[in-house]
Amino acid sequence: MKRLKKIVKWTGINLLILVVVIAAVTGMRQNLHFDAPYPNIKASADSAIIARGRHLVFGAAHCINCHNANNPDSLAALGLDVPLSGAVKFELPVGDIYSKNITPDRETGIGKFTDGEIARVLRYGVHPDGKPVFDFMPFHDMSDEDLTAVISYLRAQKPVYNRVPENDPNIIGNLVIAYLVKPVGPSGPVPASVKKDSTAAYGQYLVNSIAECNGCHTQRDLSGAYVGEPFAGGGKFEEKGVVFYPPNITTDSSSRIFGWQEADFINRFRMGKLIPQSPMPWNAYKTMDDVELKAIYRYLKTIKPAKAPVFDQQLAEK
């Protein structure tokens, strides 16, 4: 009995020491800094380039859905510019994460950063202060031409003073930040430009480098890393008490778009958001032109079939 008590005592002491060490190391790793190249990107004042950037920001890249907390769909429907002033709160398993103010305000926005620093955030996932970015944005492989257009539009916005709350990670979030969140760079050489046409090749670029379809339609872990079959269906979203699971959009018979013709696909996007709580940025995506939507459809038709995960789904996305 004495021997058992001694074993239990020292086991408890060792576990306590282990917990203290992990807590201390985790705390020290909350402010890791990384280095990454600064892309040679310069904002332009050319109206055509700015217009291209606006088309991406309001459409395929759907920046307005994450960087405006004041009903961006209604503003966009009225033909108004949507201030990208941030402060959208994402209640995630890792804690509360807030989108940044990306207007040109010099105090609370991106006005104090260089074009290269902004480009590095988008391409390499490293903040101007060297901290890593949660990998929620898929723009690592965006072409130089489109990245220039996006940053040119961001510079051309009206500055908005809006001080965004700091992220508030929980215990799980602190562990994720300490050990899992790292910069994510391009998957290969970044193209100077990508020809816009209705081919599957351009669709692949839109889907994976601009629109982030994979980001929602594939299961991911807490750090944002992909753990499921590409496009076979994503993890749980809960919006205002309604549960959604992004559906399978592969060529498998379990796919939501199985049997859809190209016209069906385009018409669904033109309808916009049908379920108010839907996390899908339908009203941004519906502003894409027919060339873009045809390209996306044709690319999705090349994706290998994969079975959708089985979920206790309360409401299917339409």
Helix (H) or strand (E) holding 168, with range, is strand 168-169
Helix (H, G, I), strand (E, B) or coil at 123: helix
Residues 168, 54: one domain?
A: yes
Residue 209, token pair as written in the block: 């480098």
Q: Would you say residue 296 lies in a domain?
A: yes
Residues 56, 172: one domain?
A: yes
Q: Would you say residue 192 lies in a domain?
A: no
- The per-residue pLDDT for range 63-90, each reduced to its tens digit, is 999 999 988 888 877 777 899 999 999 8
pLDDT above 70 covers a percentage of the chain that reads: 88
Calculate mean pLDDT across residues 301-311: 84
Q: Would you say residue 163 lies in a domain?
A: yes
Residue 223 pLDDT > 70, yes or no? Answer: no
As a dihedral over the C-alpha atoms of residue 213, residue 127, residue 152, residue 55, rounded to 10 degrees, the angle is 20
Calculate mean pLDDT across residues 292-298: 98
The pTM of the full predicted model, rounded to 2 decimals, is 0.87
Task: Enumerate residues 6+ apart whose C-beta is below 8 A from 129.
Answer: 33
**What's at 76, amino acid-wise?**
A
Residues 204, 174: one domain?
A: no
> Computed from CA positions of residues 228, 304, 297, 318, in that sequence, does the dihedral angle turn out positive or negative?
negative
| pLDDT attached to residue 17 | 66
Residues 51, 174: one domain?
A: yes
Residues 150, 238: one domain?
A: no
Residues 65, 147: one domain?
A: yes
How far is it, in rounded angstroms, from Cα 293 to Cα 180? Answer: 35
Residues 56, 170: one domain?
A: yes
Calculate mean pLDDT across residues 42-58: 97
Residue 174 pLDDT > 70, yes or no? Answer: yes
| pLDDT attached to residue 259 | 94
List the domain range (segments joined by +) for residue 155.
47-179
Number of domains forming the structure of the chain: 2
Reference 311, options 234, 226, 254, 251; nearest CA is 234
* CA distances, 290 to each of 267, 287, 313 (Å): 10, 9, 32
Q: How many CB atoms lie within 10 A of CB 113?
A: 17
Place of tokens 């939501």: 256
8 Å CB contact between 273 and 283: yes
| pLDDT attached to residue 264 | 97
Work out the pLDDT band at 32, boundaries 50, 70, 90: confident
Q: Would you say residue 118 lies in a domain?
A: yes
Residue 18 pLDDT > 50, yes or no? Answer: yes
| pLDDT attached to residue 291 | 98
